[in-house]
């Protein structure tokens, strides 16, 4: 690392980004903070304005913070995608899309406007670059590892990014926050989607699309044989694996196993129908090792808190793969990401398009 490098650090107001910035200052970097605003209900403003944010109470760790408004892009690229995916019968993951299309876009805009060199964030993941090849790895703290959310970053993004917290645990970060006199040192973490009040996506959809509940209410719930066993309140308000809220009396528990947006229909059945041996994924991004041209063994995670399972990745085309699991996976959900690991390394990922039921 060049100690004279100018780094743009994404500042969220939380403890992780604050500590990341302080660590870079301690290492001799010139640091400028960038707070990206996404909920101003206005168009993008691709110019920087000074922010009054102060990260640390220690003079040695004071640095300028600017604000960049990307609310227009956020509405188009994240919120609209979120709504459209639910209307298509999928379950989106807006945070991973936001990382690629909003956070890194904004940070690199900051690099351009402030003539900086690289960007940094408070994500718990690691980047290693050797001979112009950059690889993405899990964070040291397995409980906080956020590599799953960064699979969409390309080689160019990774080569210009620093992740100062990748080798630290959350406990260590809290201790550093106190040493740096970070104002957010004791701030609690939020697991909510930033634009969904109370993390209630159903209420958010209902308020964002007036009349959606009335328009879709009364669609059929069918069993594995196609028999109508009930009626639902609107397919976007249900998710794969959901058990509660079906309103159906049955001798065995029933789970949602498929959403049919085209016919406003929900498929439900026993828990065994949630088992999948394979899935198809698209919108692929490959890191480090590049796109495979023949079947390759890996391990896959199908949601953030999922346990990785051994699998075989079978290329189907330029941008599509089939993933064959060694053991059946439960509740594979179209719209979520499947991320591939080789030990601690993220080798790529994609968006789940189809869950293929276990024939047994």
CB 342 within 8 A of CB 298: yes
Which of 22, 134, 194, 311 is an active site residue? 194
Which of 22, 95, 98, 297 is an active site residue? 98
Does an H or E element contain 327, and which?
strand 320-330
Q: Please name the fold of domain 210-269.
A: SH3 type barrels. (2.30.30)
Instruction: Dump pLDDT digits (tens) for 139-166.
Output: 999 999 999 999 999 999 999 999 999 9
Measured CA to CA, the distance from residue 268 to residue 245 in angstroms comes to 12
Tell me the domain boundaries of the chain. Answer: 6-179, 210-269, 274-357
Q: Please name the fold of domain 274-357.
A: Elongation Factor Tu (Ef-tu); domain 3 (2.40.30)
Low-confidence ranges of the chain (pLDDT < 70): 1-3, 360
What is the pTM for the complete model shown? 0.93
Is 22 tagged catalytic? no
Measured CA to CA, the distance from residue 262 to residue 242 in angstroms comes to 20
pLDDT at 1: 46
Measured CA to CA, the distance from residue 146 to residue 311 in angstroms comes to 21
**In the structure encoding, which two tokens stand for residue 35, read together?**
């707070």
CA 220, chain centre distance (Å): 32
Q: For the structural domain made of 6-179, what CATH number should be given?
A: 3.40.50.620
Q: Could you report how far apart the first and last alpha carbons of the chain are, in Å?
A: 54
CB 265 within 8 A of CB 219: yes
Give the phi and the psi of residue 259 in degrees, each rounded to 5.
-110, 125
Does an H or E element contain 56, and which?
none
Measured CA to CA, the distance from residue 120 to residue 138 in angstroms comes to 16
**In the structure encoding, which two tokens stand for residue 60, read together?**
């040695």
pLDDT at 188: 79
pLDDT at 360: 60
CB 121 within 8 A of CB 10: yes
pLDDT at 3: 53
pLDDT at 249: 85
């Amino acid at each position: 690392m060049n100690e004279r490098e100018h780094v743009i650090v994404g500042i969220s107001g939380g403890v992780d980004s604050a500590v990341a910035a302080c660590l870079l200052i301690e290492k001799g970097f010139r640091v400028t903070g960038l707070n990206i605003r996404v909920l101003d209900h206005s168009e993008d403003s691709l110019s920087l304005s000074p922010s009054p944010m102060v990260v640390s109470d220690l003079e040695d760790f004071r640095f300028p913070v600017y604000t960049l408004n990307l609310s227009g892009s956020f509405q188009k690229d994240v919120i609209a995608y979120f709504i459209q995916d639910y209307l298509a019968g999928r379950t989106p993951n807006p945070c991973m899309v936001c990382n690629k299309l909003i956070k890194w876009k904004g940070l690199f805009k900051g690099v351009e406007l402030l003539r900086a060199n690289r960007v940094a964030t408070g994500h718990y993941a690691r980047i290693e670059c050797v001979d112009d090849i950059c690889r993405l790895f899990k964070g040291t703290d397995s409980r906080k590892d956020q590599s799953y959310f960064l699979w969409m970053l390309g080689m160019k993004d990774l080569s210009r990014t620093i992740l100062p917290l990748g080798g630290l645990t959350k406990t260590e970060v809290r201790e550093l926050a106190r040493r740096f006199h970070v104002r957010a040192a004791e701030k609690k973490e939020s697991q909510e989607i930033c634009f969904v009040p109370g993390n209630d996506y159903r209420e958010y959809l209902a308020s964002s699309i007036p009349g959606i509940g009335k328009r879709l209410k009364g669609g059929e719930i069918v069993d594995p044989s196609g028999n109508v066993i009930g009626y639902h309140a609107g397919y976007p308000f249900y998710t794969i694996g959901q058990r509660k809220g079906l309103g159906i009396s049955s001798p065995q528990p029933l789970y949602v196993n498929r959403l049919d947006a085209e016919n406003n229909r929900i498929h439900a059945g026993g828990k065994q129908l949630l088992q999948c041996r394979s899935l198809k994924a698209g919108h692929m991004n490959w890191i480090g090792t590049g796109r495979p041209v023949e079947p390759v063994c890996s391990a896959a995670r199908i949601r953030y808190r999922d346990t990785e399972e051994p699998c075989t990745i079978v290329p189907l085309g330029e941008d599509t793969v089939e993933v064959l699991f060694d053991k059946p996976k439960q509740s594979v959900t179209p719209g979520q990401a499947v991320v591939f690991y080789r030990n601690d390394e993220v080798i790529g990922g994609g968006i789940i398009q189809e869950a293929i039921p276990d024939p047994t």
